[in-house]
Structure 1
């Protein structure tokens, strides 16, 4: 038995062996027909609508298996806007002067995200990068800042990209072996929280709010253990989402607002995580 084979000995051929054999058969009308292809090697078959449950399972399995093989047990998640530029950068997403002004003002959160990711990654190094590994959506803006901060201190960092109608290539700071691509938003969001020991949320738009409220709902309903949920920029979030108003209206229970901690700096956020987990 191959010592690197973790599946154990079997008298039956492995799928990769049969895949090679199938490709080596003589070229005939029969072997060229789509029906002859092994099912998992048939792209047309695997993308049929009836195979959606199988694809959902594969998107859940693949990243989980690769992260487990890497020994990654926990993560710190950074959510935030793709449109937030680096300080001194271009507000490429602005549609008018007001948006340009505001995006450039919010560029400070790029620096905070980058510094916060550095702090997380320095702690991660103490565990040989098994705990507190930085994960982002893998795109530009705040996501880039998070991956970049980890990269600054030589730490591995995860990117969970998704196929969008407009091209979104992974940012250059994601560790290539930990750069994943998704078709299903739901499975991608599962992977964000499956190992999360903390969730940091920076200013962003609908996507960031979707990710934020999914996390809050899971914690509020007891479907996820309590972890620090850190909202960077109290001024921004108090205008974008009025949690106190929801409490006043009775649509959120008193005390649920305490799931959230508002912070303005990376150091504030990291101190909350340190206190929560009794880190030295």
Structure 2
């Protein structure tokens, strides 16, 4: 990350970093120890105060944007899915009922499908776009998110992780590219970054978070506040049990053509073929 001395143009003013260093050398007096004497950008108590929320929102938006821009990431494929879906044979069943255990075991094949889909996308990205287009981005956590970052790592590709602060700490999975691993306080800013460079969405079975992210994107596309991109739901049987969007069309609360915003795939290859057909490569 650059600072304000690295802009490449003449700047007659001292850097903020230099001001920080000078402040650390100030004699300790009642005045210099006062919180009011701290530089505003170097005052954690001030920056985390309630009146500064708007500034913190902007900082979160800009930090990830700067990092992605510096890495040259031009476009992404967003991979959503449940944190609780395990790698086959490696689930932790504490607190699960026998029925939940059976269902999660049955759904663990989606981990492998997400991993394979990420491999296909990352191979295309490296071969055709120098690893700068169609880059996999996930929420950075376990389960399907881990599978997405892992698939990119399998073939030597980069991938983005957009982690979120949660009450039960979510550590980034070990497969995300470290230089593209970000952490957010605000869900809203995180969701913006999921979509700002998105050229496709691959949505695997998940819970409330996955549904929230999916419906926000569909709403933006439906209302033409976002460009039309492929929105692919993996596991038609799963999604047909969870969603009955045809009812919305029958009741007139969405247009019948809105159902066409979603496509289904049951394998990684089917999902990737949808993206290939959409973009003509």
Common fold: TM-score over 0.5: yes
- Could you give the per-residue CA deviations for residues 111-143 of structure 1, whole angstroms, max 9, x where no partner exists? 000000000100110211110110000000000
Alignment match of 2:211 (pick from 209, 220, 231) = 209
SS in 1 for 2:31: helix
Q: Which residue of 1 aligns with 2:125?
A: 124
Structure 1 CA distance for aligned equivalents of residues 23 and 10 of structure 2: 22
Q: TM-score, normalised by structure 1?
A: 0.96
Give the deviation of 1:218 after TM superposition: 0.6
SS in 2 for 1:32: coil
SS in 2 for 1:134: strand
Q: Which residue of 2 aligns with 1:137?
A: 139
Following TM superposition, where does structure 1 have runs of at least 4 consecutive aligned residues deviating by more than 3 angstroms? 91-94
Does structure 2 conserve the Cα–Cα contact (< 8 Å) formed by 1:137 and 1:160?
yes
Q: Which residue of 1 aligns with 2:103?
A: 102
Q: Which residue of 1 aligns with 2:22?
A: 21
Structure 2 CA distance for aligned equivalents of residues 95 and 117 of structure 1: 29
Q: Does 1:157 align with 2:159?
A: yes
Give the deviation of 1:264 after TM superposition: 0.5
Equivalent runs, 1:1-280 vs 2, <5 Å: 5-6=6-7, 8-92=9-93, 95-126=96-127, 127-279=129-281
SS in 2 for 1:29: coil
Give the deviation of 1:91 after TM superposition: 4.2
Structure 1 CA distance for aligned equivalents of residues 36 and 64 of structure 2: 30
Structure 1 CA distance for aligned equivalents of residues 95 and 79 of structure 2: 23
Structure 1 CA distance for aligned equivalents of residues 166 and 31 of structure 2: 37
User: Mean Cα displacement is larger for which, 255-264 or 240-249?
Assistant: 240-249
Structure 1 CA distance for aligned equivalents of residues 271 and 144 of structure 2: 16
User: Mean Cα displacement is larger for which, 175-184 or 94-103?
Assistant: 94-103
SS in 2 for 1:72: coil
Change beyond 3 A, Cα 1:41–1:137 = same
Give the deviation of 1:30 after TM superposition: 1.8
Structure 1 CA distance for aligned equivalents of residues 93 and 279 of structure 2: 39
Does structure 2 conserve the Cα–Cα contact (< 8 Å) formed by 1:200 and 1:231?
yes
Q: Tell me how large the CA RMSD over aligned residues is.
A: 1.3
SS in 2 for 1:158: strand
- Could you give the per-residue CA deviations for residues 165-197 of structure 1, whole angstroms, max 9, x where no partner exists? 111100001111111000100000000000000
Q: Which runs of 5+ in 2 are unaligned?
A: none
Does structure 2 conserve the Cα–Cα contact (< 8 Å) formed by 1:91 and 1:100?
no
Q: TM-score, normalised by structure 2?
A: 0.96
